Chains A and B, each alone.
Chain A
């Protein structure tokens, strides 16, 4: 799997790595049991600081997407968490945050935001 990171992007480098590996697992370009390069090798390959890759791996490990087996390397986990739900949630977060901040700035109470969502959902169903 090829990764490509862009310094100067709005997303910090470690998040770019997290996102790309997450996408690769979601899109099955990376399968359970696949081996990832060591964080040092990946750092050399991407020409970024090893600590940055380490941070990305730590985050992926926390999200239970990958695991490090002592002395053997880092692998995509055999049993993945409910990937799609997780990923969707991450993506929705940004949109939801913008919605909430707009509501807050316009003085719309949270209950009204929920009503609005409910209304929209009913609209979608009918």
Chain B
């Protein structure tokens, strides 16, 4: 059974305009899924639906086999959640907040909480309002993981943090993966963090799932083809190639993404378009993101 299952999720804000339109994918136990998409693509909405904070207008979500709205308490006990704009009560001290969380979670691990207090150098007696942004995020992270959740949902957990703090966050996530076998779904715009932590990528674009592949598949089974803008070449012709999933017009050349390793892509472009001028190569995750969601539609 998947620890998280989205099945045909639809959610609109303005009537008739779906932010998410039939989004389906699952997260297996122990898997780390990186959720990518442009700002406004619906990543936050999707994570909030999994937390039961929003209800889908169509479709179903299952978290650890439960309904996050009907079984809200149990889901919250077994899941950890951190979001970009999480607000901690400003007048409480760090120590008080940790103590409050400790009472809420039967599986709270004092040793882990203490270890993270130390590693994050968190001042127990300081009020939240006097913490830096980075410190406040660390408190939120500690509270999200010290009960050793089975599933961790992270919405831009590292945004606005400096590289050292982001690395700490990654180290903590890996500790959790190693010791607890926690499954993680996280959204991030830091592609190197995504490469370090994720073993699978789900990319959301135009209200749907554009890509759902293993990270290594993206590296080894996808390529960028650069096709010169010669007479008779067109966006539509290139998009018509059997394995092409996106084309972008750039000065001088079309950039096409193909679901093929570079060598096979070269053959497909050659045979399909009759040009020997095209160049195919492997592509880094960040460039794949830009090519697929930047300047399409």
Contacts and interface: CB of A to CB of B under 8 A. Distances in A.
State whether these chains interact. Answer: yes
Contacts of A11: 219
B175 A44 contact: yes
Nearest to B216: A12
Interface residues of B, number: 31
A19 interface: no
Contacts of B171: 44, 47
Contacts of A40: 178
Nearest to B269: A105
Contact of B199 (A7, A51, A97): A51
B215 A101 contact: no
Interface in B142-177: 167, 170-171, 174-175, 177
In this complex, the interface size class of chain A, counting residues with CB under 8 Å from chain B, is 20 to 34
A6 B93 CA distance: 39
Contact of A10 (B170, B196, B198, B284): B284
Contacts of B177: 43, 49-50
B266 A49 contact: no
A55 B198 contact: no
B100 to A, nearest CB: 30
B269 to A, nearest CB: 10
A48 interface: yes
A26 interface: no
B174 A43 contact: yes
A38 to B, nearest CB: 9
Interface of B: 30-32, 167, 170-171, 174-175, 177-178, 191-193, 195-199, 215-216, 219-220, 263, 266-267, 270, 276, 282, 284-286
Given A7-B191, A105-B276, 4 more contacts: A7-B196, A8-B192, A44-B174, A51-B32
